[in-house]
């Protein structure tokens, strides 16, 4: 049987999602606990990787096992995971289902505290005191909607930098600013590049037209900011 699990995790507790030797990671931790409780060797296939410090409200993965997984099994697994990872939902899916290939869209949110420094928000918000021009950021974020070559907003080399963003939004409540992106796929550090560019525009370090040119002509390189991982959340995934 193939199972799909949906789970959340606190990114401050892990050195990213991907299984790695000698560092605590989400994939390896989940596989170890699942294998112990289910009494099968479990290998999970995630819908994608998150980097060190990035949080997930909803991450997804699939795995195969002959054992029927019960509510009691999940309770034991969550207890052993000690609230650092929480399995929220599990279900049997078709044998050809794939957690990464079958994704229709993902939603990311980046959280900024634009007020006084708050110790309780450390590791969970990007905390900055710059005055930000909200209207210019809201105007600029609309540029990212649609299908583009995001070469200037991705870290590391790729064969293809093209992807589609379906929805963008910026919300502000008090000192908290939320940057929202819904798209078919996001490449390495991409959301962090996009938010960094928007904050540069908000601060007056870059203009709307700089971002527009970087999207229209990927060879027109302009180095804009890349925000840290701590404010980034994988919020939802749709199949």
pLDDT at residue 112, rounded to an integer: 98
- Report whether 196 contacts 189 (CB < 8 A): no
Please give the average per-residue pLDDT across 120-140, as a whole number.
97
139 contacts: CB under 8 Å, gap ≥ 6: 208
Q: pLDDT by residue (tens digit) across 64-104?
A: 999 999 999 999 999 999 999 999 999 999 999 999 999 99
- 39: phi > 0 → left, psi -120 to 50 → alpha, else beta; which? left
Task: Give the CA diameter of the chain.
Answer: 58
Positive or negative torsion for Cα 16, 22, 26, 31:
positive
Q: Which residues does the annotation mark as catalytic? A: 51
Cα separation, 77 vs 49, in Å, equals 22
DSSP state of 205: S
Question: Whole-prediction pTM value?
Answer: 0.94
- The CA-atom distances, in angstroms, between 85 and each of 28, 34, 56 are 12, 12, 9
Q: Are 163 and 229 in contact (CB under 8 A)?
A: no
């Amino acid at each position: 049987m193939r199972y799909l699990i949906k789970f959340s995790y606190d990114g401050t507790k892990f050195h990213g999602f991907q299984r790695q030797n000698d560092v605590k990671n989400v994939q390896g931790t989940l596989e170890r606990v699942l294998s112990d409780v289910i009494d099968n060797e479990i290998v999970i296939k995630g819908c994608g990787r998150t980097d060190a410090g990035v949080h997930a409200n909803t991450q997804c993965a699939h795995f195969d096992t002959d054992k029927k997984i019960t509510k009691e099994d999940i309770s034991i697994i969550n207890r052993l995971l000690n609230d650092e990872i929480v399995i929220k939902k599990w279900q049997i899916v078709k044998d050809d289902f794939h957690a990464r290939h079958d994704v229709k869209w993902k939603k990311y949110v980046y959280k900024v505290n634009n007020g006084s420094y708050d110790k309780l928000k450390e590791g969970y918000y990007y905390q900055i005191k710059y005055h930000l021009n909200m209207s210019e950021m809201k105007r600029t974020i609309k540029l990212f909607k649609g299908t583009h070559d995001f070469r200037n907003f991705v870290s590391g080399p790729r064969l293809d930098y093209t992807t589609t963003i379906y929805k963008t939004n910026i919300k502000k409540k008090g000192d908290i600013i939320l940057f929202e992106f819904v798209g078919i796929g996001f490449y390495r550090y991409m959301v962090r590049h996009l938010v960094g560019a928007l904050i540069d525009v908000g601060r007056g370090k870059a203009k709307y037209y700089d971002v527009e040119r970087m999207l229209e002509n990927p060879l027109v390189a302009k180095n804009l900011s890349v925000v840290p991982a701590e404010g980034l959340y994988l919020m939802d995934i749709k199949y």
